[in-house]
A and B are shown apart, each in its own frame.
Chain A
Amino acid sequence: MVAELKELWRFRELLWTMVEREIRIRYKNSVGGFLWSLINPLVTVLVMTVVFKYLVGNQTENFAAYILAAYLPYMFFQFAVMDAAQSILVSLPLLRKIYFPREILPLAIILSNFIHFVLALAVFFAYLLVVYLIHPGVWPFQITTLWLPVLLVVNLALAAGVGLAVAALNTFYEDVKYIVGVILYLMFFLSPIMYFSENVRYSSALQGPMGDLVYRLYHLNPIAALATAYRKVLLAPQAVYVEGRKVPPLPMDWGNFAVVSLICLAVLVGGYALFNRLKWRFVERP
């Protein structure tokens, strides 16, 4: 793996050029290309806010911000993995002609999605500021926001590991991306994105030692742990309504986050190793 990384470093300029190219293509065809891509999360959040606040009757304050804080990272992960899945297949004619480290293709896609995600986070903070100016309440930046870079690195490692593995497998089995799509969809509901981790912790169905175990396992899922972490780090602690009762917010569980970070690192190493095992056979696929 060290040799592969050295080779990748030697080709770093190609990687940057490809990232730049991806971003250019993404924003080229429409002047408001970046704004267009924000419409999906914004509409989702709007719909969710209306549904939860007025139809379900959840009284959590500034609910939209809490959804966005978890939904934007999930969107990044989803797009990075699904785009990476196709990256090798669409470039096969090029791969058949010329040598360069194959991992550059999925990595460029994942990195360009990451840059897009960081830009979306900037818009997120702008949104918080606007909310603050209209309803002065909690200042939009927390001291814990300083942890954001750590979260971003862990999130990127997870996306890169899964993206590399899926890109390699999807090259040989083209239905892998459908299976991954279904798993991602399940992950969306198995993670505290449209609800809070407190909803799981204080759920009346999950009390006692069994409930504790389920909650632990639930938060070992990196996507769930990251969703909770983004919320705890970016936004003020907020009381949540669980089954009609108002419950105090749980503190950020850094112990769990450390374990999840190690899992993400393992996913990255494993995904890259799998990719390297398969990459010489991409051009020879039947």
Chain B
Amino acid sequence: MSGSPAIVARDLVKEFVVSHSGANSLKTTILWFRRARVETLRVLDGVSFDIARGTCVAVIGKNGAGKSTLLALLAKVYRPTSGVIRAEGRIAPLLELGAGFHPDLTGLENVFFNGVILGLSRKEISRRIDRIVEFSEIGSSIDAPVRTYSSGMLARLGFAVAVHMDAEILLVDEVLSVGDLQFERKCIRRIEEFRESGGTIFFVSHHLDTVRKVADRCIWLKDGRIEADGDPAEVTALYEDRMGR
């Protein structure tokens, strides 16, 4: 393990153009040409940090503070308006409930598809397929179309694929509520294994208890800027204090 950080952000700025007319047809654009009101919204306003390998970082803050935008920038879904964000190694975003699953395909076919989208080759997936299926506890339903799955099964399958990616960085939006208590424990165990092997976790959460329990470091985002950054116990205490609790 080298000393270089896993994630580097420097003066990260992200602006979105918000249109009030909601124009998304040529017709409206032409008809409303004069009245188009367009506004730029600065969601992230100069965010900088270094995250060392093997850290579990939690990002907290109010809705609209820029948490999810930060996660999306890290996943390369957005391009920063200015500044840089760089991650070393493969990133595995934990997909939301079955995002990227096609209802008519079987669980197995979807696992392959999901794995390839996350950057594995089919050979690599074949090698892990047994472990993924076992972890997901889906059993023989793996050969049934996923439209027959319950939401818990979908979430477990999605989680199983993401954690078997052998990625260096795991991105998690919102807390893991992927099923029963037993499966949640299994997920937490798996995440701990992942950290022990030097993996970095970057997660967004509103659950301060989870943050205190899991994270090594906590970043508080407020109006697109870092309000506090450091020990989870201190930052969450400050956050609760300021939120008037």
Contact = CB atoms under 8 A, between A and B. Distances in A.
A24 B109 contact: yes
* SS class, residues of chain B in contact with chain A: loop
B113 A21 contact: yes
Contacts of B112: 17
B117 interface: yes
Contact of A97 (B22, B27, B93): B93
A286 B32 CA distance: 15
A280 B78 CA distance: 7
Interface stretch (A135-143, A169-177, A259-267): A169-177
Contact of A98 (B18, B93, B109): B93
Given A14-B116, A173-B26, A286-B23, A97 B105 contact: no
A173 B25 contact: yes
B100 interface: yes
Nearest to B29: A173
A245 interface: no
Contacts, number: 77
A60 B42 CA distance: 67
B123 to A, nearest CB: 10
A174 B96 CA distance: 26
Contacts of A283: 72, 77-78
A97 B79 contact: no
A21 B122 contact: no
B95 A98 contact: yes
B104 A25 contact: yes
Contacts of A94: 95, 99-100, 117
Contact of B122 (A17, A174, A286): A17
A36 interface: no
Interface residues of B, number: 33
A96 B26 contact: no
A99 B113 contact: no
A179 interface: yes
A99 B76 contact: yes
A25 B22 CA distance: 33
Contacts of A18: 113
Contacts of A280: 78-79
Contact of A21 (B77, B102, B121): B102
B113 A17 contact: yes
Contact of A93 (B27, B99, B118, B122): B99
B170 to A, nearest CB: 13
Given A99-B77, A283-B77, A175 B27 contact: yes
Interface string B62-96: 00000000001001111100000000000001011
8 contacts: A14-B117, A17-B116, A21-B105, A97-B96, A98-B77, A99-B75, A176-B26, A286-B19
The 10 A-B pairs of least Cβ separation, nearest first, read A99-B76, A286-B19, A175-B25, A173-B26, A17-B116, A94-B100, A14-B116, A280-B79, A174-B25, A175-B26
